[in-house]
Amino acid sequence: MGFGRLLLQLVLVGALIAPATAQAKPGCLHLCGNVKIPYPFGMQGCSLNEDFLITCKKTDSKPPQRQAFMGTSNIEVTNITIDGELQIKSWASQSCHNASTGEEDPIKSLLTLSNFTVSSSKNKFTVVGCDSYAYLRGFRQGKPYSAGCMSTCDSLDYVYNKSCAGSGCCQIEIPDGLYSVNVTARSFNNHTGILDFSPCTYAFIVEDEKFNFSSQYLKNIPQDKFPVILEWSIDNTTNKEASRRFSSACGHNATSYRPDNVPGYRCRCEEGYDGNPYLGCQDIDECNKGLHNCSHQCINLDGSYKCTCPKGYTEDGRNDGQRCTPHHFPYIILALGVSIGFLVLLVAISWIFLFIRQRRLKELKEKFFQKNGGLILQQKLSMQHEIPDIFKIFTAEELKEATNNYDDSTIVGRGGFGTVYKGILADNREVAIKKSIQVDESQKEQFINEVVVLCQIKHKNVVRLLGCCLETEVPLLVYEFITNGTLFKHVHGRNASDFSWETRLKIAAETAGALSYLHSETSVPIVHRDVKTANILLDANYTAKVSDFGASRLVPLDEMQLSTIVQGTLGYLDPEYMRTSQLTEKSDVYSFGVVLVELLTGRKALCFDGPEEEKNLAMHFLSSIKGGKLFEILQKHIVNKGNKEQVKEVAQLAKRCLCLNGEERPSMKEVATELEGLHMIKMHPWVEVSTEETEYLLAREESFTSGHGNGCIASSAGFDSIKDHLVVSVGGGR
């Protein structure tokens, strides 16, 4: 009778303690020795299911103590947390060499728990020994997993305490989700030849913070069990109750969640509640526990609380900037009205300012549009029937957006006539946008006339003018974008030796054809006035594109020449034009002759690094021909036995283009015809040429010899007497 009364008292005490601690199931013991056992764990009849069964056994120690074990296994439990962690003690796997038998005595370690995984963040797989290796095998996401670690050492001098880098001790990390673990220890050489060390290999999983390696472990490891952290969860596929509803194992005021890298689910109390979520969570009385931020009065609510103020006060009484304040309705309304009025006034002023600014900007654009001849251009375009549909008058905003507000990273050319930007239009077309440095308002009508003429040019070797913008202070011209850079870059760049004679001849013929077209086939003849290698662009197929008409002039059909201020680039300028200021089509012929010489010699138009007589390329070239030293200044790699005569023909043509007397120079049409003929012979040697044409092509001087020239830095300066009248142009249209 006395024993029954004692048992009843123990049950009543457990029932009273359990609600206070919110750990064990009501009516169940919550301690085994020093280990607290929270639900869903419990002893027989008190656990959620067999996976969470804890067996409490007496030890053989004196006095006897109680120890907790997982289910009916010999896995000792040392700590359980409601947050999903279980600390156990796991046997080490060992393999020891038996000196008497000469064999290994391996002992494996097996850790199999149906619904628990080894914590990857808090454990490590460890091997201790000097002739040792071990395997870690298990399952992860239903698939087999294996890993290994090895440890060797020669003497204690090379073994460091607290270091498991492979000398005496080896450690590796464990992947998440690992279960059903099997640890096997092995020896490389049966521990033979190992002196002063234990003839054993120890392999085990251990909680990282609870293991500090010591070199003394190589003589005698002080323990055969090690602490391991497992992660537990509720498996909703095996629990019949949980299979009906995902969160069925969770008590009231609790919710379920899926932990990272662990199958199944766990439970936790909702906000404002605490306790054991598997038994049910109780409301937290924030007011009595001092967990509120009320400045005056706190009222507890189920799962929360609220703050109140005394009568005659406003706000909610929290200490987060909303303390209780006396009612002052008139002042509050007045302050609120003033604030709203001020805000409305501020918004109105901002809108008015923005409207005025937009209106002024619009008026400024209209002013620039008229100043730059926009109305005249629109009138002339409406009268032209051959203006291509591709030509467009762009707005300033379109081009600003295309160039990222004219960012410096979009600049592709800069020179005396302006700056060229690369832009991408709204339809993804790449264009070159030329912004001139200045414009002469007195020449507004002439500029418009030139735009009308240039936009009608349809030639494969002339950069197309796609449109213009007249809403800015200086007009902007929009050209097609040519991808392969300038002829100057290819002739004088690092890879100039790869630039073949055939390609050079093709480019020369195409450029001459384009200039001939401008001189004689447009509605009004056009003199380019700045022909140079920097203004000849190349596309991906090395097709020549004549660009930059910033210095160009229209020549009325009833005039043979124009009197103008000398413009152009030193080294390319026609001496007769410089002397008389009379611009003719033959001025372009002279400049093209310099381009031909650049293609032949690889030298730049002006060079100040060499002897005085070699500074001006055109003069040096003519002097070399006169002295019979042509082949001394030609680039060696372009001349071979197959094209020697052809190179002579081009050189002789260049000489004729460089005649000081313009009347003695050939027309651009004659130059184009001759170069095209030479190119056709090169491309199609089987084509027969008439006797008259052959005599015309071959009637040249024969006094030539071989040689080469040196490269130097190009300059746009020279001829001091006219420095102030010359402008170096930028390679526009790229």
Cβ(622)–Cβ(588) under 8 Å? Answer: no
For the chain, helix, strand, coil in percent to 5 are 30, 25, 40
Beta strands in 547-630 (DSSP E): 553-554, 562-563, 582-583
Q: Residue 116: helix, strand or coil by DSSP?
A: strand
Q: Which helix H or strand E contains 170, and what residues bound it?
A: strand 169-173
Which sign, positive or negative, has the C-alpha torsion 289, 294, 296, 298? negative
Give the whole-angstrom CA distance, residue 513 versus residue 461: 8
Short-list 247, 303, 251, 242, CA closest to 280: 251
Cβ(73)–Cβ(114) under 8 Å? Answer: no
DSSP 161: T
Give the whole-angstrom CA distance, residue 111 versus residue 174: 14
Which sign, positive or negative, has the C-alpha torsion 203, 209, 213, 216? negative
Half-sphere exposure of 507 (CA within 13 A, CB side): 31
Half-sphere exposure of 732 (CA within 13 A, CB side): 28
Give the whole-angstrom CA distance, residue 731 versus residue 434: 10
**Residue 307 bridge partners (DSSP):** 298
Give the whole-angstrom CA distance, residue 45 versus residue 42: 7
444 annotated ligand-binding residue: no
CB atoms within 10 A of CB 650: 23
Give the amino acid at 209. Answer: E
Tokens of 300: 């507890």
- CA distances (Å), 212 to each of 126, 259, 288, in order? 11, 30, 45
Give the whole-angstrom CA distance, residue 169 versus residue 180: 24
Active-site residue, from 51, 131, 530, 574: 530
Tokens of 630: 């042509």
Q: Residue 258: helix, strand or coil by DSSP?
A: coil
On the 0-12 / 13-18 / 19+ scale of CB atoms within 10 A, 20 is: exposed
Does the annotation count 530 as an active-site position?
Answer: yes
Tokens of 381: 């375009």
Phi and psi angles of residue 697, each rounded to the nearest 5 degrees, phi first: -75, -30
Cβ(343)–Cβ(417) under 8 Å? Answer: no
Give the amino acid at 218. Answer: L
Short-list 512, 503, 428, 439, CA closest to 469: 439
DSSP 96: E
| Active-site amino acid positions | 530
Which residues make up each annotated binding site? 435
Which residues make up each annotated binding site for ATP? 435
